[in-house]
């Protein structure tokens, strides 16, 4: 534990001040584009590049985007895809991670290594086979295509595997002696013990689902099925010279993710910290 009574030397104090100033500089540099986007969203369009601080403030930009596009419908489409894909991915990732760490079967390490190795395959390489598969399944131009393509994640399996790896086998053995089967032990004993990792993965997956663009661009053709990212792209192409309204639409799309991150950033940090550890033993 850090001892507050320890006095820092002059050199250590200067070094700490420099580090703090550097971190503040990085934070400000990161925030400038978001600040510019927010301020631009309430400017008069003809003054977007003529001033930094909006004068006068035009809140009507936010009203106009709801008049020009069915923002509510696109929000619901996006939430539907993000929530369902997150739920399915949490189920598949946690069950696979539990099997790879706590169930013993022949070739366990080989299968785990091969599955995790798929993270090294560029996503662009998979676009064509995925498209053919989705088309043959009759899921083209449906939200189910986006949900299924994000329902299985090697990263999610790897993340939760590290959490299960840090869990003592004695607890599971005690549950087994009490008559619990593999699924019952997984659901009622193992899963509650890795809540931080589950929460972190859920938040990361949900944010990724809200930001999904490439797969939506490929698999969605009907405008009424668009997610928010496609809707903003479509709006930007239609009103290419209206920068203020484009920024208003972008800011509106960010609201759910900003709220989620502010509320749940503690769970994200805990999940990442809890997921540290080694590989699979045995």
**CATH code, domain with 83:** 1.10.3720.10
Confidence tier at 278 by pLDDT (50, 70, 90): very low
Shared domain for 155 and 26, answered yes or no, is no
Does 262 map to a domain?
A: yes
Q: Is residue 56 part of a domain?
A: no
Print burial letters for 251-280: b (CB count within 10 Å at least 16), e (below 16). bbbbebbeebeeebeebbebbbebbeeeeb
pLDDT at residue 271, as a whole number: 56
Q: Which of the four pLDDT bands, split at 50, 70 and 90, describes residue 273?
A: low
How large a percentage of the chain has pLDDT more than 90? 26
Contact of 72 with 80, CB cutoff 8 Å: no
Together in a domain, 35 and 73: no
The distance between the two most distant Cα atoms of the chain, rounded to a whole number of Å, is 73
Residue 21 has pLDDT above 90, yes or no: yes
Do 72 and 140 fall into the same domain? yes
**Pair 100, 108: CB distance under 8 Å:** yes
54 inside domain: no
- Taking the C-alpha atoms of residue 159 and residue 164, their distance in angstroms, rounded to an integer, is 9
Q: Give the list of residues 6+ apart from residue 102 with CB closer than 8 angstroms, or none.
A: 164, 167, 169, 172, 186, 190
Span 237-256, mean pLDDT? 83
Tell me: do 209 and 77 sit in the same domain.
yes
Q: Which of 61-70, 156-165, 200-209, 259-268 has the lowest mean pLDDT?
A: 259-268
31 and 66 together in one domain: no
Q: Are residues 199 and 69 in the same domain?
A: yes
**In a domain? residue 55:** no
16 with 137, same domain: the answer is no
Q: Is residue 57 part of a domain?
A: no
186 shares a domain with 77: yes
CA 95/CA 92 separation, integer angstroms: 5
Please indicate, yes or no, if residue 53 is contained in any of the structural domains: no
Q: Which residue matches tokens 């759910």?
A: 256
Does residue 77 sit in the same domain as residue 128?
yes
Q: What is the mean pLDDT of residues 249-276?
A: 72
Q: Does one domain contain both 66 and 25?
A: no
Domain range holding 187?
Answer: 62-274
43-60 burial string, b = 16+ CB within 10 Å, else e?
bbbeebeeeeebeeebee
**pLDDT above 90: residue 87:** yes
- Which token pair is 170? 């004695």
Same domain, 113 and 20: no
Q: Residue 177: phi, psi to the nearest 5? A: -65, -35
Spatial distance between the Cα atoms of 251 and 234, rounded to a whole number of angstroms: 16
User: If DSSP codes are grouped into helix, strand and coil, which group holds residue 45?
Assistant: helix
Q: Based on the domain organization, do 19 and 130 belong to the same domain?
A: no
- Count of structural domains, the chain: 2
């Amino acid at each position: 534990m850090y001892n507050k009574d320890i006095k820092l030397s002059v050199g250590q104090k200067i070094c700490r001040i420099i580090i703090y100033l550097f971190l503040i500089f990085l934070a400000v540099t990161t925030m400038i584009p978001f600040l510019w986007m927010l301020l631009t969203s309430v400017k008069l369009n003809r003054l977007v590049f003529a001033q930094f601080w909006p004068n006068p403030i035009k809140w009507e930009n936010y009203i106009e985007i709801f008049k020009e596009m069915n923002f509510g419908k696109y929000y619901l489409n996006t939430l539907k895809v993000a929530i369902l894909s997150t739920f399915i991915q949490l189920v598949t990732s946690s069950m696979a991670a539990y099997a790879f760490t706590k169930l013993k079967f022949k070739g366990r390490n080989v299968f785990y290594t091969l599955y995790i190795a798929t993270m090294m395959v560029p996503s662009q390489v998979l676009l064509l086979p995925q498209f053919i598969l989705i088309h043959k399944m009759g899921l083209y131009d449906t939200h189910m295509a986006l949900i299924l393509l994000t329902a299985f994640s090697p990263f999610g399996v790897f993340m939760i595997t590290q959490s299960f790896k840090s869990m003592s086998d004695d607890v599971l053995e005690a549950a087994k002696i009490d008559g619990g089967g593999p699924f019952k032990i997984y659901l009622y004993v193992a899963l509650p013990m890795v809540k931080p990792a589950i929460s972190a993965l859920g938040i990361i997956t949900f944010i990724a689902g809200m930001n999904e663009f490439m797969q939506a661009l490929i698999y969605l053709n009907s405008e009424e099925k668009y997610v928010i990212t496609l809707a903003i792209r479509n709006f930007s192409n239609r009103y290419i010279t209206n920068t203020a309204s484009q920024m208003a639409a972008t800011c509106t799309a960010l609201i759910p993710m900003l709220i989620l991150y502010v509320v749940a950033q503690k769970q994200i940090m805990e999940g990442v910290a809890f997921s540290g550890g080694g590989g699979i033993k045995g």
